[in-house]
Protein backbone atom coordinates (compact mmCIF):
# COMPACT_ATOMS: atom_id res chain seq x y z
CA UNK A 1 0.00 0.00 0.00
CA UNK A 2 2.83 2.39 0.86
CA UNK A 3 4.56 1.69 -2.45
CA UNK A 4 1.31 2.24 -4.37
CA UNK A 5 0.67 5.48 -2.48
CA UNK A 6 4.21 6.69 -3.13
CA UNK A 7 3.88 5.91 -6.83
CA UNK A 8 0.57 7.78 -6.99
CA UNK A 9 2.05 10.81 -5.26
CA UNK A 10 5.05 10.75 -7.60
CA UNK A 11 2.79 10.63 -10.65
CA UNK A 12 0.64 13.49 -9.42
CA UNK A 13 3.72 15.58 -8.64
CA UNK A 14 4.86 15.01 -12.21
CA UNK A 15 1.45 16.11 -13.46
CA UNK A 16 1.55 19.26 -11.33
CA UNK A 17 5.06 20.04 -12.52
CA UNK A 18 3.93 19.62 -16.11
CA UNK A 19 1.00 22.00 -15.52
CA UNK A 20 3.34 24.58 -14.00
CA UNK A 21 5.83 24.29 -16.84
CA UNK A 22 3.16 24.58 -19.53
CA UNK A 23 1.63 27.58 -17.77
CA UNK A 24 5.03 29.29 -17.67
CA UNK A 25 5.34 28.92 -21.43
CA UNK A 26 2.26 31.07 -21.88
CA UNK A 27 3.83 34.09 -20.17
CA UNK A 28 5.94 36.18 -22.57
CA UNK A 29 8.57 37.79 -20.33
CA UNK A 30 11.50 40.05 -21.31
CA UNK A 31 13.92 37.14 -20.86
CA UNK A 32 11.95 34.86 -23.21
CA UNK A 33 12.32 37.05 -26.31
CA UNK A 34 14.92 39.09 -28.14
CA UNK A 35 15.48 42.72 -27.18
CA UNK A 36 13.49 45.28 -29.15
CA UNK A 37 10.21 43.34 -28.99
CA UNK A 38 7.08 44.36 -27.13
CA UNK A 39 6.21 42.41 -24.00
CA UNK A 40 3.57 42.59 -21.29
CA UNK A 41 4.43 43.65 -17.76
CA UNK A 42 1.23 43.61 -15.75
CA UNK A 43 -1.18 45.88 -17.60
CA UNK A 44 1.60 47.72 -19.47
CA UNK A 45 3.08 47.07 -22.90
CA UNK A 46 6.83 47.51 -22.67
CA UNK A 47 9.83 47.57 -24.96
CA UNK A 48 13.33 47.28 -23.51
CA UNK A 49 12.13 48.47 -20.11
CA UNK A 50 10.02 51.43 -21.24
CA UNK A 51 6.24 51.67 -21.56
CA UNK A 52 4.96 52.09 -25.13
CA UNK A 53 1.65 53.97 -25.58
CA UNK A 54 -0.05 53.14 -28.88
CA UNK A 55 -2.84 54.69 -30.93
CA UNK A 56 -3.79 53.98 -34.51
CA UNK A 57 -6.36 52.86 -37.03
CA UNK A 58 -7.78 49.74 -38.71
CA UNK A 59 -7.74 48.81 -42.39
CA UNK A 60 -9.52 45.72 -43.76
CA UNK A 61 -8.71 46.39 -47.42
CA UNK A 62 -5.18 47.70 -47.87
CA UNK A 63 -3.30 44.39 -47.71
CA UNK A 64 -6.01 42.36 -49.45
CA UNK A 65 -6.48 44.68 -52.43
CA UNK A 66 -2.74 45.09 -52.82
CA UNK A 67 -2.30 41.32 -53.03
CA UNK A 68 -4.95 41.14 -55.77
CA UNK A 69 -3.23 43.92 -57.73
CA UNK A 70 -5.81 46.67 -57.05
CA UNK A 71 -2.99 48.98 -56.03
CA UNK A 72 -3.95 52.08 -54.08
CA UNK A 73 -7.34 50.88 -52.79
CA UNK A 74 -7.72 50.97 -49.00
CA UNK A 75 -10.08 52.05 -46.23
CA UNK A 76 -8.13 54.97 -44.72
CA UNK A 77 -6.08 57.20 -47.04
CA UNK A 78 -6.43 59.81 -48.28
CA UNK A 79 -10.07 59.40 -47.21
CA UNK A 80 -12.38 56.60 -46.09
CA UNK A 81 -12.66 53.87 -48.74
CA UNK A 82 -10.19 55.89 -50.77
CA UNK A 83 -7.50 55.17 -53.32
CA UNK A 84 -3.92 56.44 -53.26
CA UNK A 85 -3.04 57.61 -56.78
CA UNK A 86 0.06 56.83 -58.77
CA UNK A 87 1.04 53.50 -57.24
CA UNK A 88 1.62 50.34 -59.26
CA UNK A 89 3.14 47.75 -56.93
CA UNK A 90 3.09 46.61 -53.31
CA UNK A 91 6.30 48.53 -52.67
CA UNK A 92 5.09 51.86 -54.06
CA UNK A 93 1.70 51.50 -52.39
CA UNK A 94 3.03 50.89 -48.88
CA UNK A 95 5.68 53.57 -49.35
CA UNK A 96 2.90 56.13 -49.94
CA UNK A 97 0.51 54.63 -47.39
CA UNK A 98 2.82 55.12 -44.42
CA UNK A 99 3.70 58.65 -45.53
CA UNK A 100 0.16 59.51 -44.39
CA UNK A 101 1.11 58.23 -40.94
CA UNK A 102 4.15 60.52 -41.08
CA UNK A 103 1.84 63.44 -41.85
CA UNK A 104 -0.55 62.70 -38.97
CA UNK A 105 2.39 62.16 -36.62
CA UNK A 106 3.17 65.84 -37.23
CA UNK A 107 -0.40 67.16 -37.06
CA UNK A 108 -2.47 64.76 -34.96
CA UNK A 109 -2.99 64.14 -31.25
CA UNK A 110 -2.49 61.47 -30.06
CA UNK A 111 0.37 60.48 -32.34
CA UNK A 112 -0.53 57.48 -34.53
CA UNK A 113 1.97 54.63 -34.26
CA UNK A 114 -0.27 51.54 -34.57
CA UNK A 115 -1.80 49.80 -37.59
CA UNK A 116 -4.24 46.88 -37.21
CA UNK A 117 -4.58 45.28 -40.63
CA UNK A 118 -6.40 42.28 -42.10
CA UNK A 119 -3.88 39.92 -43.72
CA UNK A 120 -6.00 36.74 -43.56
CA UNK A 121 -9.27 37.27 -45.41
CA UNK A 122 -12.24 35.29 -46.69
CA UNK A 123 -11.30 32.04 -45.04
CA UNK A 124 -14.82 30.87 -45.78
CA UNK A 125 -13.86 30.24 -49.40
CA UNK A 126 -10.21 29.87 -48.34
CA UNK A 127 -9.02 32.66 -50.64
CA UNK A 128 -6.35 33.73 -48.16
CA UNK A 129 -5.07 30.21 -47.52
CA UNK A 130 -4.98 29.43 -51.24
CA UNK A 131 -3.27 32.73 -52.04
CA UNK A 132 -0.54 32.05 -49.50
CA UNK A 133 -0.23 28.40 -50.47
CA UNK A 134 -0.19 28.83 -54.25
CA UNK A 135 1.83 32.05 -54.51
CA UNK A 136 3.88 32.62 -51.35
CA UNK A 137 6.30 34.94 -53.17
CA UNK A 138 3.50 37.39 -54.02
CA UNK A 139 1.95 37.07 -50.58
CA UNK A 140 5.19 37.71 -48.72
CA UNK A 141 6.20 40.56 -51.07
CA UNK A 142 3.02 42.36 -49.96
CA UNK A 143 3.67 41.63 -46.28
CA UNK A 144 7.39 42.45 -46.45
CA UNK A 145 6.74 45.83 -48.08
CA UNK A 146 4.12 46.65 -45.46
CA UNK A 147 6.53 45.85 -42.62
CA UNK A 148 9.45 47.69 -44.26
CA UNK A 149 7.61 51.00 -44.66
CA UNK A 150 5.73 50.64 -41.39
CA UNK A 151 9.08 50.34 -39.65
CA UNK A 152 10.43 53.36 -41.53
CA UNK A 153 7.46 55.39 -40.25
CA UNK A 154 7.77 54.09 -36.68
CA UNK A 155 4.39 52.31 -36.85
CA UNK A 156 3.76 49.04 -35.02
CA UNK A 157 1.73 46.49 -36.96
CA UNK A 158 -0.96 44.17 -35.61
CA UNK A 159 -1.66 41.62 -38.38
CA UNK A 160 -5.16 40.17 -38.10
CA UNK A 161 -4.69 36.61 -39.30
CA UNK A 162 -8.32 35.73 -39.97
CA UNK A 163 -11.38 37.87 -40.53
CA UNK A 164 -14.72 36.40 -39.40
CA UNK A 165 -17.61 37.08 -41.80
CA UNK A 166 -20.33 35.56 -39.62
CA UNK A 167 -22.96 35.61 -42.38
CA UNK A 168 -21.26 32.75 -44.23
CA UNK A 169 -22.36 29.36 -43.00
CA UNK A 170 -19.11 27.62 -43.89
CA UNK A 171 -17.25 29.82 -41.41
CA UNK A 172 -18.54 27.57 -38.65
CA UNK A 173 -16.27 24.80 -39.87
CA UNK A 174 -13.46 26.72 -38.19
CA UNK A 175 -15.06 25.90 -34.86
CA UNK A 176 -14.72 22.19 -35.68
CA UNK A 177 -11.11 21.30 -34.91
CA UNK A 178 -11.32 18.11 -36.97
CA UNK A 179 -12.27 19.94 -40.19
CA UNK A 180 -9.89 20.52 -43.10
CA UNK A 181 -10.60 24.27 -42.98
CA UNK A 182 -9.51 24.45 -39.35
CA UNK A 183 -6.33 22.52 -40.16
CA UNK A 184 -5.58 24.94 -43.02
CA UNK A 185 -6.10 27.95 -40.77
CA UNK A 186 -3.69 26.59 -38.16
CA UNK A 187 -1.15 25.78 -40.89
CA UNK A 188 -1.37 29.33 -42.29
CA UNK A 189 -1.11 31.07 -38.92
CA UNK A 190 1.82 28.99 -37.71
CA UNK A 191 3.66 29.61 -41.00
CA UNK A 192 3.18 33.39 -40.72
CA UNK A 193 4.25 33.49 -37.08
CA UNK A 194 7.33 31.37 -37.76
CA UNK A 195 8.49 33.36 -40.80
CA UNK A 196 8.23 36.73 -39.05
CA UNK A 197 9.21 35.73 -35.53
CA UNK A 198 12.35 37.90 -35.70
CA UNK A 199 10.49 41.06 -36.79
CA UNK A 200 10.09 43.48 -33.83
CA UNK A 201 7.83 45.91 -35.76
CA UNK A 202 5.01 43.38 -35.37
CA UNK A 203 3.42 44.43 -32.09
CA UNK A 204 1.33 41.28 -31.65
CA UNK A 205 -0.49 38.66 -33.69
CA UNK A 206 -4.29 38.95 -33.71
CA UNK A 207 -5.13 35.27 -34.23
CA UNK A 208 -8.91 35.54 -34.84
CA UNK A 209 -11.23 38.50 -35.28
CA UNK A 210 -14.48 38.21 -33.29
CA UNK A 211 -15.02 34.45 -33.12
CA UNK A 212 -17.68 35.21 -30.51
CA UNK A 213 -20.14 36.75 -33.00
CA UNK A 214 -22.48 35.42 -35.67
CA UNK A 215 -25.09 33.34 -33.89
CA UNK A 216 -23.18 30.03 -33.71
CA UNK A 217 -22.49 29.67 -30.01
CA UNK A 218 -26.02 30.06 -28.50
CA UNK A 219 -27.00 26.75 -30.14
CA UNK A 220 -23.62 25.04 -29.78
CA UNK A 221 -22.81 25.04 -26.08
CA UNK A 222 -22.74 28.76 -25.27
CA UNK A 223 -19.87 30.43 -23.48
CA UNK A 224 -18.51 27.15 -22.08
CA UNK A 225 -18.11 25.60 -25.54
CA UNK A 226 -16.66 28.85 -26.91
CA UNK A 227 -13.97 29.00 -24.23
CA UNK A 228 -13.03 25.36 -24.82
CA UNK A 229 -12.61 26.03 -28.54
CA UNK A 230 -10.73 29.32 -28.03
CA UNK A 231 -8.30 27.75 -25.55
CA UNK A 232 -7.60 24.85 -27.91
CA UNK A 233 -7.16 27.10 -30.94
CA UNK A 234 -4.77 29.37 -29.07
CA UNK A 235 -2.72 26.37 -27.97
CA UNK A 236 -2.62 25.05 -31.55
CA UNK A 237 -0.97 28.20 -32.95
CA UNK A 238 0.92 30.09 -30.28
CA UNK A 239 4.03 27.89 -30.01
CA UNK A 240 4.98 29.06 -33.53
CA UNK A 241 5.89 32.49 -32.10
CA UNK A 242 8.65 32.89 -29.54
CA UNK A 243 9.07 36.67 -29.63
CA UNK A 244 5.59 38.09 -30.17
CA UNK A 245 2.53 38.72 -28.05
CA UNK A 246 -0.79 37.05 -28.90
CA UNK A 247 -4.24 38.68 -28.86
CA UNK A 248 -7.77 37.80 -30.01
CA UNK A 249 -10.50 40.35 -30.77
CA UNK A 250 -13.89 40.09 -29.05
CA UNK A 251 -17.09 42.04 -29.75
CA UNK A 252 -17.61 42.52 -26.05
CA UNK A 253 -20.22 45.26 -26.25
CA UNK A 254 -22.63 42.67 -27.69
CA UNK A 255 -21.27 39.64 -25.84
CA UNK A 256 -24.45 38.64 -24.01
CA UNK A 257 -26.42 38.73 -27.26
CA UNK A 258 -23.83 36.59 -29.03
CA UNK A 259 -24.04 33.93 -26.33
CA UNK A 260 -27.80 33.73 -26.07
CA UNK A 261 -28.08 35.33 -22.65
CA UNK A 262 -25.72 32.81 -20.99
CA UNK A 263 -23.19 35.44 -19.91
CA UNK A 264 -22.97 36.60 -16.28
CA UNK A 265 -23.89 40.17 -15.40
CA UNK A 266 -21.66 42.91 -16.79
CA UNK A 267 -18.67 42.97 -14.47
CA UNK A 268 -15.41 41.19 -13.64
CA UNK A 269 -16.94 37.69 -13.99
CA UNK A 270 -18.14 38.75 -17.45
CA UNK A 271 -14.73 40.08 -18.49
CA UNK A 272 -12.84 37.05 -17.18
CA UNK A 273 -14.68 34.79 -19.61
CA UNK A 274 -12.48 36.32 -22.33
CA UNK A 275 -9.27 35.93 -20.32
CA UNK A 276 -7.80 32.89 -22.08
CA UNK A 277 -4.64 30.96 -21.25
CA UNK A 278 -2.17 31.76 -24.00
CA UNK A 279 -3.59 35.21 -24.76
CA UNK A 280 -1.09 37.87 -23.65
CA UNK A 281 -3.19 40.96 -24.43
CA UNK A 282 -6.95 41.02 -23.91
CA UNK A 283 -8.88 42.73 -26.70
CA UNK A 284 -12.36 44.21 -26.95
CA UNK A 285 -14.22 46.10 -29.69
CA UNK A 286 -16.32 49.05 -28.58
CA UNK A 287 -18.99 50.82 -30.60
CA UNK A 288 -21.17 53.18 -28.62
CA UNK A 289 -22.24 56.79 -28.09
CA UNK A 290 -22.31 56.81 -24.27
CA UNK A 291 -19.60 58.95 -22.75
CA UNK A 292 -19.77 57.51 -19.24
CA UNK A 293 -16.58 57.33 -17.21
CA UNK A 294 -17.54 53.91 -15.87
CA UNK A 295 -16.94 52.48 -19.36
CA UNK A 296 -13.28 53.30 -18.80
CA UNK A 297 -13.03 52.73 -15.05
CA UNK A 298 -14.62 49.28 -15.15
CA UNK A 299 -12.20 47.99 -17.77
CA UNK A 300 -9.20 49.46 -15.95
CA UNK A 301 -10.29 47.64 -12.81
CA UNK A 302 -10.80 44.36 -14.68
CA UNK A 303 -7.44 44.64 -16.46
CA UNK A 304 -5.61 45.25 -13.17
CA UNK A 305 -7.38 42.32 -11.51
CA UNK A 306 -6.66 39.98 -14.41
CA UNK A 307 -3.12 41.35 -14.73
CA UNK A 308 -2.93 41.82 -18.50
CA UNK A 309 -2.89 44.76 -20.91
CA UNK A 310 -6.22 45.55 -22.57
CA UNK A 311 -6.32 46.51 -26.25
CA UNK A 312 -9.37 48.29 -27.68
CA UNK A 313 -8.78 46.84 -31.14
CA UNK A 314 -11.77 48.56 -32.74
CA UNK A 315 -13.27 51.82 -31.48
CA UNK A 316 -16.07 53.78 -33.10
CA UNK A 317 -18.62 56.45 -32.26
CA UNK A 318 -21.58 54.80 -33.99
CA UNK A 319 -24.33 57.42 -34.08
CA UNK A 320 -26.89 56.27 -36.64
CA UNK A 321 -28.02 57.78 -38.91
CA UNK A 322 -24.83 59.74 -39.15
CA UNK A 323 -25.35 63.30 -37.80
CA UNK A 324 -22.72 64.51 -40.29
CA UNK A 325 -23.92 62.49 -43.28
CA UNK A 326 -20.79 60.31 -43.16
CA UNK A 327 -20.92 57.48 -45.69
CA UNK A 328 -19.98 55.06 -42.90
CA UNK A 329 -21.75 55.84 -39.59
CA UNK A 330 -18.79 54.93 -37.39
CA UNK A 331 -16.38 57.71 -36.56
CA UNK A 332 -13.40 58.80 -34.51
CA UNK A 333 -14.19 59.10 -30.78
CA UNK A 334 -11.90 61.67 -29.15
CA UNK A 335 -13.34 61.36 -25.63
CA UNK A 336 -12.91 57.60 -25.35
CA UNK A 337 -9.49 57.69 -27.03
CA UNK A 338 -8.13 60.33 -24.67
CA UNK A 339 -9.56 58.75 -21.54
CA UNK A 340 -8.37 55.28 -22.50
CA UNK A 341 -4.78 56.23 -23.28
CA UNK A 342 -4.58 58.16 -20.01
CA UNK A 343 -5.08 54.90 -18.09
CA UNK A 344 -1.93 53.31 -19.50
CA UNK A 345 -3.49 49.83 -19.67
CA UNK A 346 -3.22 49.30 -23.42
CA UNK A 347 -3.51 50.54 -27.01
CA UNK A 348 -6.55 51.76 -28.92
CA UNK A 349 -7.22 51.64 -32.67
CA UNK A 350 -10.00 53.68 -34.28
CA UNK A 351 -12.14 51.85 -36.80
CA UNK A 352 -12.17 55.04 -38.87
CA UNK A 353 -10.97 58.62 -38.46
CA UNK A 354 -14.21 60.05 -39.89
CA UNK A 355 -16.30 62.77 -38.26
CA UNK A 356 -19.53 61.04 -37.21
CA UNK A 357 -20.64 63.69 -34.77
CA UNK A 358 -17.65 63.98 -32.42
CA UNK A 359 -15.11 65.42 -34.82
CA UNK A 360 -12.61 63.81 -37.16
CA UNK A 361 -9.09 62.86 -36.16
CA UNK A 362 -6.83 65.88 -36.78
CA UNK A 363 -7.72 67.36 -40.21
CA UNK A 364 -8.85 64.02 -41.67
CA UNK A 365 -9.38 63.48 -44.54
CA UNK A 366 -6.18 65.02 -45.85
CA UNK A 367 -5.02 65.01 -49.49
CA UNK A 368 -2.19 67.53 -49.46
CA UNK A 369 1.59 67.05 -49.74
CA UNK A 370 3.17 64.34 -47.60
CA UNK A 371 6.46 64.41 -45.69
CA UNK A 372 9.46 62.29 -46.59
CA UNK A 373 10.73 59.53 -44.36
CA UNK A 374 13.23 60.64 -41.73
CA UNK A 375 16.78 60.14 -42.96
CA UNK A 376 15.55 59.25 -46.43
CA UNK A 377 13.87 56.04 -47.50
CA UNK A 378 15.24 52.75 -46.16
CA UNK A 379 16.52 50.15 -48.61
CA UNK A 380 13.91 47.87 -50.16
CA UNK A 381 13.28 44.48 -48.57
CA UNK A 382 16.03 41.97 -49.36
CA UNK A 383 15.21 39.27 -51.89
CA UNK A 384 13.94 36.02 -50.44
CA UNK A 385 16.72 33.62 -49.41
CA UNK A 386 17.48 30.68 -51.69
CA UNK A 387 15.87 27.36 -50.86
CA UNK A 388 17.44 25.70 -47.86
CA UNK A 389 20.09 23.14 -48.74
CA UNK A 390 19.20 21.02 -45.70
CA UNK A 391 16.50 18.55 -46.74
CA UNK A 392 17.16 15.83 -44.15
CA UNK A 393 14.55 15.61 -41.38
CA UNK A 394 15.07 14.20 -37.91
CA UNK A 395 14.80 10.44 -37.66
CA UNK A 396 11.34 9.00 -37.06
CA UNK A 397 10.52 8.19 -33.43
CA UNK A 398 9.64 4.49 -33.27
CA UNK A 399 9.62 3.80 -29.53
CA UNK A 400 6.95 6.17 -28.19
CA UNK A 401 5.35 4.25 -25.33
CA UNK A 402 2.89 4.67 -22.47
CA UNK A 403 4.64 4.05 -19.17
CA UNK A 404 1.87 4.90 -16.69
CA UNK A 405 -1.77 5.99 -16.52
CA UNK A 406 -3.79 7.58 -13.75
CA UNK A 407 -6.91 9.58 -12.95
CA UNK A 408 -7.18 11.72 -16.07
CA UNK A 409 -3.52 11.58 -17.11
CA UNK A 410 -1.08 9.45 -19.12
CA UNK A 411 2.74 9.39 -18.93
CA UNK A 412 4.81 8.61 -22.03
CA UNK A 413 8.46 8.18 -22.93
CA UNK A 414 10.51 8.02 -26.15
CA UNK A 415 14.05 8.40 -27.49
CA UNK A 416 15.04 11.85 -28.75
CA UNK A 417 15.77 12.09 -32.50
CA UNK A 418 18.49 14.30 -33.99
CA UNK A 419 18.50 17.17 -36.50
CA UNK A 420 19.62 15.14 -39.53
CA UNK A 421 18.55 11.61 -38.75
CA UNK A 422 20.26 11.02 -35.40
CA UNK A 423 22.94 13.70 -35.92
CA UNK A 424 22.69 17.13 -34.31
CA UNK A 425 19.82 18.45 -32.19
CA UNK A 426 16.24 18.70 -33.42
CA UNK A 427 14.44 22.07 -33.14
CA UNK A 428 10.86 21.36 -32.04
CA UNK A 429 8.16 18.79 -31.33
CA UNK A 430 4.54 18.55 -32.45
CA UNK A 431 2.84 16.18 -29.97
CA UNK A 432 -0.77 15.07 -30.45
CA UNK A 433 -3.45 12.73 -29.08
CA UNK A 434 -6.76 11.32 -30.30
CA UNK A 435 -9.62 9.20 -29.00
CA UNK A 436 -10.50 7.97 -32.50
CA UNK A 437 -7.77 5.38 -33.03
CA UNK A 438 -4.10 5.26 -34.03
CA UNK A 439 -2.58 8.48 -35.38
CA UNK A 440 -0.91 8.28 -38.80
CA UNK A 441 0.57 10.69 -41.34
CA UNK A 442 -2.86 10.91 -42.95
CA UNK A 443 -4.77 12.02 -39.84
CA UNK A 444 -2.01 13.67 -37.76
CA UNK A 445 -3.27 17.18 -38.50
CA UNK A 446 -6.71 16.35 -37.08
CA UNK A 447 -5.44 15.06 -33.73
CA UNK A 448 -5.35 17.38 -30.70
CA UNK A 449 -2.10 19.31 -30.30
CA UNK A 450 -0.35 19.38 -26.90
CA UNK A 451 2.25 22.01 -26.13
CA UNK A 452 5.22 20.17 -24.57
CA UNK A 453 7.06 21.99 -21.76
CA UNK A 454 10.46 21.47 -23.41
CA UNK A 455 12.27 21.34 -26.75
CA UNK A 456 14.14 18.27 -28.05
CA UNK A 457 17.26 17.41 -26.08
CA UNK A 458 20.40 15.69 -27.31
CA UNK A 459 19.72 12.77 -29.66
CA UNK A 460 19.55 9.30 -28.19
CA UNK A 461 18.50 10.31 -24.67
CA UNK A 462 15.19 9.44 -23.10
CA UNK A 463 12.36 12.01 -23.05
CA UNK A 464 9.19 11.80 -20.95
CA UNK A 465 6.04 13.81 -20.38
CA UNK A 466 2.79 13.62 -18.44
CA UNK A 467 -0.35 14.60 -20.34
CA UNK A 468 -2.91 15.85 -17.77
CA UNK A 469 -6.51 17.00 -18.15
CA UNK A 470 -7.77 13.91 -19.99
CA UNK A 471 -11.20 12.36 -19.57
CA UNK A 472 -11.30 9.49 -17.08
CA UNK A 473 -11.86 5.92 -18.22
CA UNK A 474 -11.03 6.80 -21.85
CA UNK A 475 -8.59 5.25 -24.32
CA UNK A 476 -6.22 7.73 -25.98
CA UNK A 477 -3.75 7.26 -28.83
CA UNK A 478 -0.60 9.38 -29.00
CA UNK A 479 1.97 10.35 -31.64
CA UNK A 480 4.60 12.99 -32.27
CA UNK A 481 6.70 14.54 -35.01
CA UNK A 482 9.98 16.45 -34.76
CA UNK A 483 11.49 19.12 -37.00
CA UNK A 484 14.81 20.78 -37.62
CA UNK A 485 15.38 24.52 -38.13
CA UNK A 486 14.34 24.59 -41.83
CA UNK A 487 11.83 23.09 -40.86
CA UNK A 488 12.04 19.54 -42.19
CA UNK A 489 9.48 17.40 -40.37
CA UNK A 490 10.00 13.70 -39.83
CA UNK A 491 7.29 11.11 -40.36
CA UNK A 492 4.68 10.50 -37.67
CA UNK A 493 5.91 8.26 -34.86
CA UNK A 494 4.37 4.98 -33.81
CA UNK A 495 1.05 5.54 -32.04
CA UNK A 496 0.69 3.75 -28.68
CA UNK A 497 -2.50 3.89 -26.65
CA UNK A 498 -3.34 4.12 -22.97
CA UNK A 499 -6.54 4.17 -20.96
CA UNK A 500 -6.96 6.69 -18.15
CA UNK A 501 -8.31 5.60 -14.77
**What's the pLDDT score for residue 376?**
67
* DSSP class of 264: P
Give the mean pLDDT of 255-267: 67
What is the domain partition of the chain in residue ranges?
30-350, 401-500
Is 129 or 203 the better-scoring residue by pLDDT?
203
Least confident of 37-46, 122-131, 288-297, 336-345: 122-131
What CATH fold (topology level) applies to the domain 30-350? TIM Barrel (3.20.20)
Q: Are 465 and 412 in contact (CB under 8 A)?
A: yes
Superfamily of 401-500 according to CATH: Immunoglobulins (2.60.40.10)
CA geometry: angle at 347 spanning 346 and 350, to 5°? 145
Cis peptide before 348 (omega within 30 of 0): no
Q: So what's the pLDDT on residue 133?
A: 84
Q: Is the pLDDT of residue 23 over 60?
A: no
Q: Is the pTM here over 0.75, yes or no?
A: no
pLDDT above 60 (res 6) = no
Residues 245, 39 contacting (CB under 8 angstroms): yes
Print burial letters for 328-343: b (CB count within 10 Å at least 16), e (below 16). ebbbbbbebbebbbee
Q: For residue 380, give every residue at least 6 positions away whose Cβ sits within 8 Å of its Cβ, in sequence order, or none.
A: 91, 148
Mean pLDDT calculated for residue range 420-429: 88
Tell me which of 126-140, 235-249, 383-397, 438-452 is least confident.
383-397
Residue 50 CA to residue 40 CA, distance in Å, equals 11
- Structure confidence at residue 416 (pLDDT): 94
The pLDDT assigned to 165 comes to 59
Q: What value does the mean pLDDT take over residues 179-196?
A: 91
| pLDDT surpasses 90 at 74 | yes
Instruction: For 316-342, write each residue's pLDDT tens digit.
Output: 999 989 999 988 899 999 999 999 999
More confident position, 290 or 222: 290
Per-residue b or e along 424-440, where b marks 16 or more CB atoms closer than 10 Å to that residue's CB: bbbbbbbbbbbeeeebe
Res 347: pLDDT: 97
CB atoms within 10 A of CB 252: 23
DSSP per-residue letters across 435-483: SSS---TTTGGGSEEE--SS---STTSEEEEEE-SPPTT-EEEEEEEEE
pLDDT at 122 over 90: no
> What value does the mean pLDDT take over residues 37-44?
94
Amino acid sequence: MQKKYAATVACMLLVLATFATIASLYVKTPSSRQSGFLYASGTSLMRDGSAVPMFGVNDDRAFVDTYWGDYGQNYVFPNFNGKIPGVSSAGTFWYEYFRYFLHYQQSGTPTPNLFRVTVGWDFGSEDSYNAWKSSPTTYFADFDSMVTWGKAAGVYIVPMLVQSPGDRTYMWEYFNRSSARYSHLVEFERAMMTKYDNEPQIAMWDIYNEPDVGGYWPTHGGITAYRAWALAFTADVRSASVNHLITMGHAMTSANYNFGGSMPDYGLDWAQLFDLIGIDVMQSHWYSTAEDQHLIDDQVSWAKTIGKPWFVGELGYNAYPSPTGAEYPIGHWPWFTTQWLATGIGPVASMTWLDNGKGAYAEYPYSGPLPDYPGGPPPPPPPPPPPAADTTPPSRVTDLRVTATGRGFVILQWTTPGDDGMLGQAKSYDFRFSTRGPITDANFGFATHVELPFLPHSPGRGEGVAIPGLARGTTYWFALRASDEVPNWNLTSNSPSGKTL
